A = this chain, B = another copy of it.
Amino acid sequence: MERVAIIGVGQSEFGELWDSGFREIVLKAGIDAIEDAGLEGKEIEAIYIGNMSGGRYLAQEHIAALIADYSGLAELGVPATRVEAADASGGLALRQAYLSVASGVHDIVIAAGAEKVTDVGSEMTTDIMASSADREWEGFVGATIPALYALMARKHFEMYGTTPEDLARVSVKNHKNGALNPKAQFKREITVEDVLNSPKVAEPLRLLDCAPLSDGAAAVILANEKIAREYTDNLVFIKSCTQASDYLALHSRRDITTMEAVRKAASLAYKMAEVSSQNIDVVEIHDSFTIAEIMAYEDLGFVEKGKGAELIREGITELDGSLPVNPSGGLKACGHAIGATGIRQAVEITSQLRGEAGKRQVDCETGLSLNIGGTGATAVVTIYGVV
């Protein structure tokens, strides 16, 4: 297998982008990535795009062809492949792009993720997001994604003594980081009290425990090591990128406080990258809900099962802690543009490993990102390093 490097990154703002259409947002991210790499577009051999629900948000499927068209790459016939696994769609795009370069099929590819969600109403948005869980066994009986994560939170509280304050601390940390990120949707700090006093969404989850659903796009350019060195000396390598599945409906899982897909993908990612969880310096976690970040601490092996809350209580995952998590602000504060999130995480880790993360820069040589689909039926773990 070839070594694969990230040679360019780009990201639109995340948020309610009323003045931009889907096409503009995704082109902005793509062009930024191409310029960052110092490429000409025509050097790109394949496009992988993560998008969850263009069919419902935009009444547009065939999203990858649309992007090939609007980017000018259709003129060259460049193959364009959309992948989808709910909000892990971006992670899948990253992984397919990574595999295509690692295996020698392509030399230079672009992996992008994009979603435009604000053009439909919030009721429809809730229903669209519920389509990432099991429609027949969960959605049709009224289970929304927040409700399903609330079940996980309640069980975690019951089994391990995690508290609403612990959840709130995750949100507070991520907002603190987001305030330092110019691309973040929410650039303001909040307090634990703010979270605990915010409206209930699905008990024990409150509004400020939930990531927003955002418009946004992100893109990365991947190349094999030889090509990459022609473009930059500040290389960030993808050391492994793994994907695993779990049962779609929560009721089929043995333990809803554990995401088996995360455990399996992480275990394989550490092995393939030849690192352990203790070697990781900086992390982007899929905190679609605060409880998801705490469970991920455990399932990624940073702490044993049930002790996730200790990491946030003790400040270990703060920007100045020993294991900074979500320096970007995470999904909670940077924003959650569904299909874009997995790529947006790769953009952040790349910026951190390059030392270009500005006010939110942490000291790091090895990074990890975790992108989750729905309630955890898909997980993608990516490990990055400067060597």
Q: Which residues from chain A sit less than 8 Å from chain B, CB to CB?
A: 1, 21, 23, 47, 52-56, 58-66, 68-69, 73-75, 77-86, 92, 96, 99-100, 102-105, 127-128, 131-136, 139, 242-249, 252, 260-261, 264-265, 373-374, 377-378
Contacts and interface: CB of A to CB of B under 8 A. Distances in A.
A65 B377 contact: yes
30 contacts: A21-B136, A58-B135, A59-B127, A59-B135, A61-B86, A62-B86, A62-B131, A62-B133, A63-B84, A65-B85, A65-B86, A65-B245, A65-B246, A69-B134, A69-B246, A73-B245, A74-B245, A74-B246, A74-B248, A77-B244, A77-B245, A77-B260, A79-B243, A80-B85, A80-B378, A81-B85, A82-B83, A82-B84, A83-B83, A96-B96
B92 A81 contact: yes
A134 B245 contact: no
Contacts of A63: 84
A248 to B, nearest CB: 4
A53 B59 contact: no
A373 B127 CA distance: 27
A58 B140 CA distance: 11
Contacts of A82: 83-85
A252 B66 CA distance: 12
B103 A247 contact: no
A245 B53 CA distance: 21
A163 B63 CA distance: 34
A54 B83 CA distance: 13
A374 B377 CA distance: 30
8 residue pairs, one from A and one from B, having the closest CB atoms: A103-B103, A65-B377, A77-B264, A79-B243, A77-B244, A68-B245, A62-B86, A60-B135
B69 A248 contact: yes
Contact of A80 (B52, B136, B245, B260): B245
Given A53-B55, A77-B261, A66 B248 contact: yes
A128 B60 CA distance: 8
Contact of A245 (B79, B86, B127): B79
A68 B104 CA distance: 28
Given A77-B246, A249-B69, A378 B85 contact: no
Nearest to A58: B135
A22 to B, nearest CB: 9
A139 B373 contact: no
Contacts of A104: 1, 103
A219 B138 CA distance: 27
Contacts of A377: 62, 65-66, 68-69, 74
Nearest to A78: B245
